[in-house]
Amino acid sequence: MSAVAELKTVAGGLVVSNPGILGGKPVFRGTRLPVQTLFDYLADGLSLDYFLETFEGVTREQAQAVVRYGWECIASELA
């Protein structure tokens, strides 16, 4: 199976998992930045603005959409 066939996307294509990038960890599309980093920053009490200043490859819209997607996943499991 080719790497392209193993490529997975979620959150409207904003998050990509590719075995050839960080061992398949979910990353923001077009970056090598794990999505987990955003959630770690927020969980540690750091602001979204600080995250965006630190990782310039991610836009505010992308980060907000990923957080919203995470909430929608939680909400759908409880529905």
CATH code, 3-78: 1.10.10.10
pLDDT of residue 35: 97
Q: How many CA atoms lie within 13 A of 71 on its CB side?
A: 6
Which of left, alpha, beta for 63 (phi over 0: left; psi -120 to 50: alpha)? alpha
Statement: the pTM of the whole predicted model exceeds 0.85: yes
Residue in the block written with tokens 């490859």:
57
Q: What pLDDT digit, counting tens, does each position of 20-37 carry?
A: 999 999 999 999 999 999
- In the predicted model, what is the mean pLDDT of the chain? 93
